Amino acid sequence: MHRNLDRAASATAMRIANGNAAKKGLPEGKKKKLLDPKTWERDGKLVETASALRRQLGGDLFEDHNQFRERVTAALDKEKIKIGTADLKLILRAASWRVETAPPVIARIHKPGKTKADPLRGFFEADVKGKPAIVEYETDTDLRDTEQVPLLESGGIEAFIGRDVLPYTSDAWIDESATKIGYEISFTRHFYKPQLLRTLAEIRRDILTVQKEAEGLIDELVKEPVTV
């Protein structure tokens, strides 16, 4: 779900205003970036772009981010504004928030004949503008998780995901670009040699020794004459 774009301009202006924090121990890298004229020029263009989009789109609320992006692209073309992908993402993020019931955000569209549907690996069948297609959705980094699957897991990763993940998160898929296969060696388990514990007899002997030493100190204190 997305709200109107006047939020993007105010968020950018707020980031510039907060630049006064440089006097309070701002990291050197951020301080250098803040004092760079290109940073101000970039943020100024973001404000101008967000304002232009606000004029084109008005204050409508879009519950489908895919439609929202299409309207933003059309508005940019109409205003003849060219903006980089990273800057556009900043504006979209500032004007959007997550709603669990909203449609998933499409990242890439494939023709059914060239790509096969494989939900376990992120390729889903969908209707795009009334036509069948295979789509990849944008991942929600806040919901991303990592699982360690035993190398000898019966059925492999697919069986593990189907048994322990999909029943609870039906729209999850495997990011094979981040999958790593290898061995994990526990150095503590294989190489650590714990020190042998003392026997009860040794512990008892040490306690009695300390007790006798304490009693001797008390005797010495009591025997000393008291000076008035």
Would you list the domain boundaries of the chain?
Answer: 6-94, 194-223
Q: Give the DSSP letter of residue 110.
A: E
Count the helices and strands in the chain (H runs, E runs): 8, 3
The model's pTM = 0.60
Mind listing the pLDDT tens digit for each residue in 78-97? 989 998 889 898 888 888 88
pLDDT (tens digit per residue) in 100-122: 888 899 999 998 888 899 999 99
Is residue 17 scored above 70 in pLDDT?
A: no
Angle at which helix 6-17 crosses helix 85-94, to 10 degrees, equals 100
